[in-house]
Copies of this chain bind each other. A is one copy, B any other.
Amino acid sequence: MSKPYNRLDIDQAVVLLVDHQAGLLSLVRDFQPDQFKNNVLAVADLAAYFKLPTILTTSFEEGPNGPLMPELKAQFPDAPYIARPGQINAWDNPDFVAAIKATGRKQLIIAGVVTEVCVAFVALSAIAEGYEVFAVTDASGTFNAVARDAAWNRMSSAGVQLINWFGVACELHRDWRRDVEGLATLLANHIPDYRNLMTSYGAFKGAHRDPQAA
């Protein structure tokens, strides 16, 4: 009756960042803007930190949808970058799927805008082909909370796992001893409350353990 708990694994996971474009981002209203930007950059940072293969894709970036967030381009200069000529579901783009297959990995960590389309369509397609799919709930945004709830329901019903970026980071890291400084820096750079804890801790100890902000 119980089945194995397949954790996210740094040797099995790929990160797919789908359509975080300047125009489309203005549609996102299920998160407060500062919070959403921070969450997207946190996913990017964790992908970089764990050296996960990362694939970028955009939809019509020369039109109203606008260009990809410059921070993402800057962080992954060598990542596969698929500017889709028209496919709404990135999975319909052979280059996108090929880039995933080229990694040989089976765990997909997906974030995108908007949740019910750019994330859900890819997620459902990937599940259907046997991938383990993790939708990053807080780095994927849409028009409002009602739209989000429906998108989550549809993905979850199909077997997609819902997880926030913090959960992804912790499930990948597994043990603080793997790199205390690295994980602490990642958390402090994206969780103000955690940085506060580290600031106080550093002051109390008279030590200089506060990681440098990005």
Contacts and interface: CB of A to CB of B under 8 A. Distances in A.
Interface of A: 1-5, 22-23, 25-27, 29, 31-38, 59-67, 69-71, 85-89, 92, 114, 116-117, 120-121, 124-125, 127-130, 137-138, 143-144, 146-147, 149-154, 156-159, 161-164, 166-167, 170-171, 173-178, 180, 184, 191-201, 203-205, 210, 213
A138 B175 CA distance: 27
Given A116-B167, A166-B117, A153 B151 contact: no
Contact of A66 (B69, B121, B197): B197
26 contacts: A1-B159, A2-B127, A3-B128, A5-B124, A5-B158, A22-B195, A25-B192, A25-B196, A26-B26, A26-B193, A60-B176, A61-B203, A67-B203, A70-B210, A87-B174, A88-B173, A116-B163, A116-B164, A121-B170, A137-B147, A138-B146, A138-B147, A150-B167, A151-B164, A151-B167, A157-B161
Number of copies: 8
Rank and list the top 9 A-B pairs by shortest CB-CB distance, nearest first. Answer: A86-B177, A204-B204, A64-B197, A22-B199, A66-B200, A5-B128, A86-B176, A26-B26, A64-B201
A5 B133 CA distance: 14
B22 A203 contact: yes
A23 B163 contact: no
Given A2-B159, A200-B67, A152 B152 contact: no
A69 B37 CA distance: 21
Nearest to A161: B154
Nearest to A24: B197
Given A117-B167, A158-B5, A27 B70 contact: no
A70 B93 CA distance: 36
B196 A66 contact: yes
